[in-house]
């Protein structure tokens, strides 16, 4: 378990793990947003 203290740390960890996935992944969210970071993630 790793404690993430900042939203930016959460985002960078999420992107890193998505890029390194060896199989298909599914993400679910109640709200994704419309800014650049959210668009880059999708």
Inside any domain, residue 2? no
pLDDT score, position 34: 87
| The pLDDT of residue 2 | 92
Q: What is the pLDDT at residue 23?
A: 92
* Regions in the chain scoring below 50 on pLDDT: none
Q: How far is Cα 26 from Cα 34, in angstroms, rounded to an integer?
A: 19
* Residue 1: inside a domain: no
- Predicted local distance difference test score (pLDDT) of residue 37: 85
For residue 35, the enclosing domain spans 7-40
The pLDDT, as a whole number, for residue 16 is 92
Question: Is the CB of residue 37 less than 8 Å from the CB of residue 11?
Answer: yes
Contact predicate 38/32, CB 8 Å = yes
pTM of the predicted structure, to 2 decimals: 0.70
Q: In total, how many domains does the chain have?
A: 1
């Amino acid at each position: 378990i790793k404690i993430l203290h900042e939203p930016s740390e959460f985002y960078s960890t999420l992107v890193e793990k998505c890029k390194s996935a060896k199989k298909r992944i599914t993400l679910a969210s109640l709200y994704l947003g419309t800014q650049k970071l959210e668009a880059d993630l999708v």
